[in-house]
Structure 1
Amino acid sequence: MRRHLLMRLRAPLVAFGGEAIDNYGVIRDFPALSMVTGLIGNALGWERSEFALLDGLQARLVMGTRLDDGGERLVDFQTAQLGANDAGWTTLGEPEKRRGGDVSYKSPHLRYRDYHARLDALVALRLEPADEEPTLETIAHALDHPQRPLLIGRKPCLPSGRLLIGIVDADDVLNALQLAPVSDQREFRFQWPLKEGTLKNARALDVCDERNWKTGVHGGWRAVFEGTGPHIAPADLSTLPELPA
């Protein structure tokens, strides 16, 4: 049995970002490894420039997700009129400015951003190796006492409740997701890493969700399974402690 941290990602708007194309910000059904890495790093107070810390944490994370409520998708159409001295914010360290001369300022700045509305996702994760810092206990404390506001994908995506559920002992990531408490008994959608459990009729696929934190480019691939299956009622929840709010 190995220890897994359980974290709930729930908000009125959630953005599990995918590959951005031009001015279209698309989303995926499940959170990316890089998104969870960034969320934890933000809770710990790490800066975006601390590449070694973020790369190291991402390499140690073994995680999967259970969708308790897939919500629904919506598209936010964003428009702003930018003048010659105005600029759009980016993550590249440089402001985004208009190009093309004076005529370009007559057209608005357009973007499309997809969101999940009312999505509720349960994440189970462990660290390999487990005894290096940050440990699961360090991360658990940071989620309850974050150094900065926590976001689930994008700036508007503020959690609607406590992220941390607790720590549970389980054979693997899928087992941890199946043991986590639920509000009703039914089939759930899961995504979990290769060799971290099995479900009938699961499909195998590769996801590009690992980030090179120095260059800001996603290029690493993970082998995962996706499938549906039941919740397993745990015999003992003593490993899910009540942690201070």
Structure 2
Amino acid sequence: MPDHLVLLLDAPLSAFGGEIIDAYGVVRDFPGRSTVTGLLANALGYGRADGTRLDRLQARLVLGSARLAEGRRMRDFQTARLGAGDRGWTTRGRVEGRSGGAATYDSPHIRYRDADADALVLIAFRLDPPAESPTLAEVEGALDRPERPLFVGRKPCLPSRPLLAGCVAADDVRAALESGLAACAAGEGRFRLHPSRARREADGWPRSARPVRAQWPADREPGERERRLEICDERDWVVGVHGGSRGVIEGRLSLPARSRGETP
């Protein structure tokens, strides 16, 4: 069985970016391949100029995720007054000026950004092919000692605990998610929830072992009460645009019967 790394994303705010429409930056329920690629690349010390390496890391990434705590979706209203002489850094590493007539700067720059407050998300992933560098072991070491500070989606979304929970051997991503759920419920090692989080979840998961919403690769036909979706969550890191699609299955995962103290 291949090894999978399991991450536990526990943060006051998290933002798994979706499509930006006009001034509205919405978020997804589950982190996409580009989001997790950026997170791992940050830990490894990759820069935005490393487009080829970023593309390859994303292509090898096989992942799924589960929402242990839904949290609360919120919308942040952001405004800034920009002047004609203001300059800023671009993603290509060049300082960029501003253009337009004087009337362009009469009004403030306004936008809206969504985020999830107090959500708890479990991620399981592997790299395919496994022997290529960076290997899963190299990524595991980088997550333990990252080259740069890590964040959950956007830079203001700082995690409240180390992201790496552990490594599990599983047939596929769905099975790895189930192993992670069982380890969280049992409070094993790094899967143990913070006491404040455990108190908040006392009447919900994991005590009740209720099913949680999850998403995993569409490497098999969806089962009962599951659905197959085509999502666009990849980025062309060389060109700097999002595009393409992949198949995923969304459904609910429960703890194995043995983890709930029931007869399997």
Question: Please, which of 226, 233, 239 is the counterpart of residue 209 of structure 1?
Answer: 233
TM-score normalised by the chain length of structure 1? 0.89
Q: Answer yes or no: is the 8 Å Cα contact 1:17–1:26 preserved in 2.
A: yes
Instruction: Determine if the alignment matches structure 1 residue 80 to structure 2 residue 77.
Output: no
Instruction: Determine if the alignment matches structure 1 residue 222 to structure 2 residue 246.
Output: yes
Shift of 1:91: 3.3
Q: Which residue of 1 aligns with 2:2?
A: 2
**1:135 and 1:179, CA in 2 relative to 1: closer, same or farther beyond 3 A?**
same
Shift of 1:72: 1.1
Instruction: Determine if the alignment matches structure 1 residue 155 to structure 2 residue 155.
Output: yes
Shift of 1:182: 2.7
Shift of 1:104: 2.2
**1:88 and 1:108, CA in 2 relative to 1: closer, same or farther beyond 3 A?**
farther
Shift of 1:198: 5.3
Q: Answer yes or no: is the 8 Å Cα contact 2:48–2:92 preserved in 1.
A: no
Instruction: Find the aligned partners of 1:161 and 1:174 in 2 and give their Cα distance.
Output: 24
Q: Answer yes or no: is the 8 Å Cα contact 1:11–1:157 preserved in 2.
A: yes
Alignment gaps of 5+ in structure 2: 186-205, 260-264
Instruction: Find the aligned partners of 2:102 and 2:221 in 1 and give their Cα distance.
Output: 58
60-69 vs 87-96, greater mean Cα deviation: 87-96
Instruction: Find the aligned partners of 1:76 and 1:7 in 2 and give their Cα distance.
Output: 26
189-198 vs 108-117, greater mean Cα deviation: 189-198
Identity %: 53
Which secondary structure does the structure 2 equivalent of 1:206 belong to?
strand
Amino acid at match of 2:211: E
Q: Tell me the matched-pair count.
A: 235
The CA RMSD over aligned residues, in Å, is 1.9
Amino acid at match of 2:169: D
Amino acid at match of 1:202: E
Q: Which residue of 2 aligns with 1:182?
A: 184
Runs of 4+ in 1 over 3 A off after TM superposition: 87-100, 196-199
Shift of 1:75: 0.7
15-24 vs 80-89, greater mean Cα deviation: 80-89
Alignment gaps of 5+ in structure 1: 236-245
Instruction: Find the aligned partners of 2:96 and 2:231 in 1 and give their Cα distance.
Output: 29
**1:119 and 1:168, CA in 2 relative to 1: closer, same or farther beyond 3 A?**
same
Q: Answer yes or no: is the 8 Å Cα contact 1:98–1:105 preserved in 2.
A: no
Instruction: Looking at secondary structure, tell me which structure has more helix per residue.
Output: 2
Q: Answer yes or no: is the 8 Å Cα contact 2:48–2:91 preserved in 1.
A: no
Amino acid at match of 1:208: C
**1:112 and 1:98, CA in 2 relative to 1: closer, same or farther beyond 3 A?**
farther
TM-score normalised by the chain length of structure 2? 0.83
Instruction: Find the aligned partners of 2:100 and 2:136 in 1 and give their Cα distance.
Output: 50
Instruction: Find the aligned partners of 2:257 and 2:173 in 1 and give their Cα distance.
Output: 16
Q: Answer yes or no: is the 8 Å Cα contact 1:89–1:95 preserved in 2.
A: yes
